[in-house]
Amino acid sequence: MQTVENARPLEVLLVEDNIGDVDLVWSYLRKSNAAVSMSVARDGHQAISVLRNRREHGPLPDIVLLDLNLPKLGGIDVLRVVKEDSLLRRIPVIVLTSSSTSEEIGRVYEMGANCCLTKSIDLTGFRQVMQSIEQFWFHAVCLPTNLHESERDQGVAFPTSAG
Amino acid sequence: MLWDPWSWLCAQMHMLGMLFELLERTGVGWLPFAADCAVVVACICVIALIVYLLHRCRDRLSMNRERTNRQFESVMEVAPNAMIMIDPSGEIVLVNRAAEEVFQYAREEMLGESIEMLIPERFRPAHPKLRDAFFEEPQTTLIGQGRPRIGLRKDGTEFELDLGLNPIETTEGLFVLSSIVDMAAHHRTQKTLAQLAAIVESSHDAIIGKAIDGTITNWNRGAEMIYGYPAKEAIGRHISMLIPDGQTDEADQIMQKVVGGVLVDNAETTRRCKDGTLIDVSLTVSPIRDESDVVIGASVIARDITQRKAAEKTLAQYACELEKSNHELEQFAYVASHDLKEPLRMVASFTGLLAEEYRGKLDANADRYIDFATNGAKRMAALIDDLLNYSRVGRMDAPFRAIGLGDMLQHVVDDLRTSIEETQAEISLPEETPRVKGSPTRLRQLFQNLMGNALKFRHPDRPPIIQISCQQCDAFCEIAVKDNGIGVDPDFHERIFQVFQRLHTTAEYPGTGIGLAVCKKIVEQHGGEISVESELGVGTTFRVTLPVYFVDMDPDVHRPKFSKYEGEVPSCKP
């Protein structure tokens, strides 16, 4: 397990304005067996400042759970900032949305989201979604290891290319 | 025939020759006689010359007269009035073409006959006396004042006429030339003219005549009504008095077109009335030409379309508002249901958590209340989802395309396979189906709902039999989905197509009651109609009309009209 290799638990950055959702996600993660720590950003601006701060001073979160419907700066804008940055773009972004029009979903993937899930309306559905996230992203996949100092410099040397 | 002096002289010489021969034969010496003869011959020659000159003179006179006669006759021939010349005995000596037309006799039938043939029998006896009186005291007159002037045609019909008489002195004596006007024809023309004038006058459209320089020459009552100027005020003025400032160019352009012989048809523009108000008019301007085809003016027919314009504007406004309102409503339904989901998710999730973590820890009532809340939230979630789907019909759909109806129905049956097997349903599909024009997803949803309903509302005592038939009528095809289920009470036939209308409790038949509303919306989006026929306890038939796809609708697609039976004419299956 990655967390073991890194000698620290996976860090999930949850970008979510709804305190209820934060509570639900946290209550799920707390009960699950995964060694996961969670940071929360309550709007888009906060998310970006957290990420920029971590980009400078490390460590980066391992996974971003991003709600699309955020006050001030929306989830789409956060996604853009992350995916246009040469260093931040390696972080898998899991988009959570309650609206699931095909246009919106398409747009999210176009902008580089790593996966998109619909927030289920009831508890059972929610648990199923969280369970799949846990199984796939926390256990199944290989996540990029955290940044070293040299890489951080490199990131500056190679500015973003994504438009 | 002209007198030929040469042959006359020859004849004389011949006679002389014969005389000499006679003298010789009788033995008389011809020499003493010859001198006498020379004198005689000279005399004869002089006489011959005189006679010849006289004859030439007479001929020239007669040729002149003949030319005059011919000229007179040709003028008379083309005269528009009927003209008949008679001699003192009343015999017709000359008639013209118009006379033939008026009296319907051919020229030959009239020439040489008595003028009385053209007068009704009852006036005939008195006529010669009148005629004689005129010949005694001939002067140009318009006769017949105060008594009926009646003519008789060949077919026996009588007609009123106007008669002018002219005495004509000739070498051959006195003649009378009568000029006759058929008053009936005249009256007819007058009547037609009057009718036309009345039509022009009574028209609600303004009918205006204008000269080439724009001077108004005619002004009907319609023009008075529309523009406010009485005729006597408008005639003689320039047409520019009707043209609003800044539009003078337009009037010139119209006039230029008309002078060029072009008709200006239904040009919509603005005109100024006497009181200064501007009105919308539709103008038809056509050139007026003289006999030599030169444009000498224009007729303008102006229709006041101010009200129509206003109505059009109002209508367009309504349409725009309606569209806006519809759009807003859709937007509202979508946004509302979308935004409702957020808080609902909280309610549903946390009542769920409450139920999980506190079931049995509170009293029995608390458990019941939590269940109510959980179920209510679930149900509301379903309603919102359905409402969202309903509002999305037609909103997010791809452009319509050709869909093979038969294949699509088969797909729907495949999708419903599980419930068909569970209910032991018997489903029959139409053998021949056209291609329809529409959204594949929506039409599949439509038939899934209809067939799903037929399975869901099946009769408890018998397995469902679902018959789907198809009948093409012109540009549409009607698809009937017939079942033998529980049926729908006729009182509710309208209601079942409304959103969230249910005829049963959720315990009897689950669902939100959106299915048929979605069906209706889908069908209407396709320009078709949906209707229901049903008998309670016997079964229900839903009829759907959908537009048939024709190849020429889409030039890029060159496929046959029917997917299964290529090239075959569809047979309408009742």
Domain that holds residue A53: 2-142
Q: Is B23 on the interface with A (CB under 8 A)?
A: no
CB-based contact B353 A27, cutoff 8 Å: yes
A101 chain-B contacts, CB cut-off 8 A: 396
Q: Tell me, what amino acid is at B494?
A: E
Among the listed residues B176, B92, B173, the one whose alpha carbon sits nearest the alpha carbon of residue B134: B176
Task: Say what the ipTM of the complex is.
Answer: 0.73
**Residue B35 — pLDDT band, cuts 50, 70, 90?**
low
Would you call B404 helix, strand, or coil by DSSP? strand
Q: Is B547 on the interface with A (CB under 8 A)?
A: no
Mark which of B304, B323, B343 sits at the end of a domain.
B304
B453 vs B47, residue with greater confidence: B453
Could you tell me which chain A residue has the CA closest to the CA of B376? A122
CB-based contact A121 B342, cutoff 8 Å: no
Q: Which of B342, B348, B385 is opposite residue A123, by nearest beta carbon?
A: B348
Are B451 and B546 part of one and the same domain? yes
Between strands B264-272 and B278-289, the pairing is: antiparallel
Establish if B208 belongs to a structural domain: yes
Establish if A50 belongs to a structural domain: yes
CA distances, A53 to each of A8, A48, A60, B303, B446 (Å): 20, 8, 9, 76, 53
Distance from CA of A37 to the nearest CA of B (A): 22
**Residue A156 — pLDDT band, cuts 50, 70, 90?**
very low
Q: Which of A27, A102, A119 is opposite residue B345, by nearest beta carbon?
A: A119
Establish if A149 belongs to a structural domain: no
Are B285 and B321 part of one and the same domain? no
Establish if B565 belongs to a structural domain: no
Residues facing B402 on adjacent strands: B437
CB count within 10 Å of CB B465 equals 17
For residue B125, say if its preceding peptide bond is cis, omega within 30 degrees of 0.
no
Domain that holds residue B385: 311-392
Express each pLDDT in B125-134 by its tens digit: 888 888 888 8
A27 chain-B contacts, CB cut-off 8 A: 353
Looking up residue B354, the CATH number of its domain turns out to be 1.10.287
Q: Which of B338, B342, B352 is opposite residue A122, by nearest beta carbon?
A: B352
Express each pLDDT in B6-19 by its tens digit: 777 777 777 777 77
Establish if A151 belongs to a structural domain: no
Q: Which of B345, B352, B396 is opposite residue A98, by nearest beta carbon?
A: B345
Establish if B563 belongs to a structural domain: no
Establish if B560 belongs to a structural domain: no
A126 chain-B contacts, CB cut-off 8 A: 345, 349
Residues 6+ apart with CB under 8 A from B385: A121, B337
Express each pLDDT in B511-526 by its tens digit: 888 889 999 999 998 9
Interhelix angle B306-358/B364-392, rounded to 10 degrees, is: 150
Q: Which of B338, B381, B396 is opposite residue A121, by nearest beta carbon?
A: B381
Could you tell me which chain A residue has the CA closest to the CA of B351? A123
| pLDDT(A113) > 90 | yes
Q: Is B338 on the interface with A (CB under 8 A)?
A: yes
Interhelix angle B364-392/B515-525, rounded to 10 degrees, is: 10
A98 chain-B contacts, CB cut-off 8 A: 338, 341-342, 345
Question: DSSP secondary-structure letter at B180?
Answer: E
Distance from CA of B376 to the nearest CA of A (A): 12
Distance from CA of A77 to the nearest CA of B (A): 20
User: Which A residues, 13 through 42, put their C-beta within 8 Å of a C-beta on chain B?
Assistant: 18, 20-21, 24, 27
Q: Is A119 on the interface with B (CB under 8 A)?
A: yes
Are B407 and B533 part of one and the same domain? yes
Distance from CA of A123 to the nearest CA of B (A): 4
Q: What angle do CA A155, A156, A157 make, to 5 degrees?
A: 90
Q: Which of B338, B345, B350 is opposite residue A121, by nearest beta carbon?
A: B345
| d(C-alpha A37, C-alpha B125), whole Å | 140
| Structure confidence at residue B553 (pLDDT) | 59
| d(C-alpha B66, C-alpha B70), whole Å | 6
Mean per-residue pLDDT, B104-118: 89
Q: Is A123 on the interface with B (CB under 8 A)?
A: yes
Could you tell me which chain A residue has the CA closest to the CA of B383? A121
Are B412 and B531 part of one and the same domain? yes
Do the Cβ atoms of B92 and B113 come closer than 8 Å? yes
**Residue A3 — pLDDT band, cuts 50, 70, 90?**
very low
Mean per-residue pLDDT, B539-547: 92
CB-based contact B381 A122, cutoff 8 Å: yes
| d(C-alpha B125, C-alpha B131), whole Å | 11
CB-based contact A121 B346, cutoff 8 Å: no
Distance from CA of A115 to the nearest CA of B (A): 21
Looking up residue B293, the CATH number of its domain turns out to be 3.30.450.20
Are B59 and B89 part of one and the same domain? no
Are B499 and B418 part of one and the same domain? yes
Mean per-residue pLDDT, B125-154: 76
| d(C-alpha B247, C-alpha B36), whole Å | 107
- What's chain A's Rg over C-alpha atoms? 15
**Residue B187 — pLDDT band, cuts 50, 70, 90?**
confident
| pLDDT(B571) > 50 | no
Do the Cβ atoms of B557 and B551 come closer than 8 Å? yes
Mean per-residue pLDDT, B498-512: 81
Establish if B382 belongs to a structural domain: yes
Establish if B194 belongs to a structural domain: no
Q: Which of A69, A99, A122 is opposite residue B349, by nearest beta carbon?
A: A122
Are B406 and B385 part of one and the same domain? no
Long-range CB contact pairs, B174-177, < 8 A, 24+: B174/B88, B174/B135, B174/B138, B175/B85, B175/B86, B175/B87, B175/B88, B175/B93, B176/B85, B176/B86, B176/B131, B176/B134, B176/B135, B176/B138, B177/B76, B177/B83, B177/B84, B177/B85, B177/B94
**Phi-psi category of B90—alpha, beta or left, where left has phi over 0 and alpha has psi -120 to 50?**
left
Average per-residue pLDDT in chain B?
83
What percentage of residues in chain B have a pLDDT greater than 70? 91
| pLDDT(B506) > 80 | no
CB-based contact A122 B377, cutoff 8 Å: yes
CB-based contact B342 A69, cutoff 8 Å: yes
Mark which of B136, B162, B187 sits at the end of a domain.
B187
Q: Which of B342, B353, B378 is opposite residue A98, by nearest beta carbon?
A: B342
Mark which of B368, B392, B416 sits at the end of a domain.
B392
- What's chain B's Rg over C-alpha atoms? 52
Distance from CA of A50 to the nearest CA of B (A): 26
CB-based contact A123 B353, cutoff 8 Å: yes
Are B379 and B246 part of one and the same domain? no
| Structure confidence at residue B34 (pLDDT) | 67
C-alpha of B326 from chain center: 38
| pLDDT(B388) > 60 | yes
| d(C-alpha B564, C-alpha B335), whole Å | 43
Q: Is B340 on the interface with A (CB under 8 A)?
A: no
Do the Cβ atoms of A147 and A58 come closer than 8 Å? yes
Distance from CA of B372 to the nearest CA of A (A): 14
Least confidently predicted of A114-123, B141-150, B169-178, B346-355: B141-150
Establish if A98 belongs to a structural domain: yes
What is the phi/psi pair of residue A26, to 5°?
-65, -45
Could you tell me which chain A residue has the CA closest to the CA of B349? A123
CB-based contact B338 A99, cutoff 8 Å: yes
Do the Cβ atoms of A61 and A78 come closer than 8 Å? no
Are B91 and B161 part of one and the same domain? yes
Establish if A6 belongs to a structural domain: yes
Would you call B564 helix, strand, or coil by DSSP? coil
CA distances, B117 to each of A4, B127, B148, B326 (Å): 140, 11, 17, 86
Establish if B518 belongs to a structural domain: yes
| d(C-alpha B290, C-alpha A133), whole Å | 93
Establish if B281 belongs to a structural domain: yes
Are B425 and B542 part of one and the same domain? yes
**Residue to substitute from B349, B389, B391, B392, interface A, most A β-carbons within 10 A:** B349
Looking up residue B532, the CATH number of its domain turns out to be 3.30.565.10
Q: Please report how many Cα atoms fall inside a 13 Å half-sphere around the Cα of residue B390, on the Cβ side.
A: 25
| d(C-alpha B262, C-alpha B287), whole Å | 7
**Based on the structure, what is the number of domains in chain B?**
5
Establish if A74 belongs to a structural domain: yes
Would you call B361 helix, strand, or coil by DSSP? coil
Do the Cβ atoms of B373 and B347 come closer than 8 Å? yes
| Structure confidence at residue A161 (pLDDT) | 37
Question: DSSP secondary-structure letter at B399?
Answer: P
**Based on the structure, what is the number of domains in chain A?**
1
Q: Is the dihedral of CA A143, A148, A152, A153 positive or negative?
A: negative
Are B447 and B363 part of one and the same domain? no
Residues facing B428 on adjacent strands: B467
Least confidently predicted of B62-71, B81-90, B284-293: B62-71
Q: Is B346 on the interface with A (CB under 8 A)?
A: yes
Q: Is B335 on the interface with A (CB under 8 A)?
A: no
User: Which B residues, 365 through 394, put their C-beta within 8 Å of a C-beta on chain A?
Assistant: 377-378, 381, 385
Could you tell me which chain B residue has the CA closest to the CA of A126? B349
Establish if A152 belongs to a structural domain: no
| Structure confidence at residue A129 (pLDDT) | 92
Looking up residue A51, the CATH number of its domain turns out to be 3.40.50.2300
Distance from CA of A20 to the nearest CA of B (A): 6
Are B527 and B416 part of one and the same domain? yes
CB-based contact B378 A122, cutoff 8 Å: yes
